[in-house]
Amino acid sequence: MTAGDAVVVEDLHKRYGAVRAVRGVGFTVGHGEIFALLGRNGAGKTTTMEILEGFRDRDGGRVRVLGLDPADRSTGRALRERVGIVLQDIAVEPYLTVRETLARNAGYYPAPRDTDEVIALTGLTGLEKQKVRALSGGQKRRLDLALGLIGDPDVLFLDEPTTGFDPSARRAAWQSVRDLRDAGTTILLTTHSMAEAQELADRVAVIADGRIVAEGTPATLGGRDTARARIRFTLPPGTTAACLPVPAIPDEDGRLVTVESTDPTRTLHRLTDWALSRGTELAGLTVDRPSLEDVYLRLTDDVPPHRTDDVSPHLTDEHDGTPRRTS
């Protein structure tokens, strides 16, 4: 742990009966950093987050959030006053208005953010007098985010924060999250959207079968930045992959080809020289490296698609198979 760490997890363990849901997980999150924890359903990420939030006890390991142990009931209130949580499903009084809901929750904190400021920040302007029960799914999700922000938290936990958002609202919410980070808020994010992790996270960790299997920036995770580049294009009429100046892999119909290269600039030069000398084009030419989703799937490919984290008979979260958290 350093002075720059808002969250510390060391050798974390959690078992449910015979199921070892979390097995030696460890990571740190610096102050003012967005950290994304990614994993398949049942991988252990929700259990890890619930331990950090104080909803579950751990079996072993060390956990600190803002220097406090979430399992220590004597400091529980002090920690809750400095933490915001945006869950996938928050129970809210349906007959209160948006403003009434936020104003009531603001009263739980010693120094809440201004209600109008939070309404504007989360795109709820114009909906202040709307009753919660009349909100659309996307609008309710914005209210969930607003409830997480109203206490002006030092650490914010976001669980699938933009589920149900249209593209425009999602972009606006992403910018709001970045603004919070820039203002010094530490953010822990779980999401099934690799685009969301790519856009928001400063660092990413992938959890599989209860263990962290990779950690890094979205650009470097799993060696993504040094992986072979993929050059794709459609073969010019009358040519085959064998005609090209570099080895290429054709698709099933033999028209679209893929060239992998550790030196894409030089390889592109050879391909474009070849095409220009024949007076033809490389239609649909693209150059990329493995996406964050490609790397994520490779890292989790050998892990079973689902493992129940909790064998208790409670209601379960539809994403992770764990009891649904409540605010």
DSSP per residue, 248-308? -EE-TTSSEEEEEES-HHHHHHHHHHHHHHTT---EEEEEE---HHHHHHHHHTTS-S---
- For the cut 60, the answer to whether the pLDDT of residue 16 exceeds it is yes
Tell me what the pLDDT averaged over the chain comes to: 88
- The pTM is what? 0.81
Q: Report the C-alpha gap between 113 and 108 in whole angstroms.
A: 12
> pLDDT band at residue 303, thresholds of 50, 70 and 90?
low
- For the cut 80, the answer to whether the pLDDT of residue 311 exceeds it is no
- pLDDT per position as a tens digit, 206-260: 999 999 999 999 999 988 888 889 999 999 999 999 999 999 999 988 899 999 9
Share of the chain above pLDDT 90, in %: 71
pLDDT at residue 326, rounded to an integer = 39
- For the cut 70, the answer to whether the pLDDT of residue 25 exceeds it is yes
Query: What's the order of all strands across the beta sheet hosting 155-159?
Result: 83-86, 155-159, 186-190, 34-38, 203-208, 211-216
pLDDT at residue 314, rounded to an integer = 35
Q: What is the mean pLDDT of residues 275-286?
A: 95
> pLDDT band at residue 316, thresholds of 50, 70 and 90?
very low
Q: Report the C-alpha gap between 156 and 197 in whole angstroms.
A: 15
CA separation, residue 205 to residues 27, 121, 144, 242, 315 (Å): 8, 28, 25, 41, 27
pLDDT at residue 186, rounded to an integer = 97
> pLDDT band at residue 327, thresholds of 50, 70 and 90?
very low
pLDDT at residue 322, rounded to an integer = 39
Q: What is the mean pLDDT of residues 34-55?
A: 94
Q: Report the C-alpha gap between 178 and 287 in whole angstroms.
A: 29
- For the cut 90, the answer to whether the pLDDT of residue 87 exceeds it is no
pLDDT at residue 165, rounded to an integer = 79
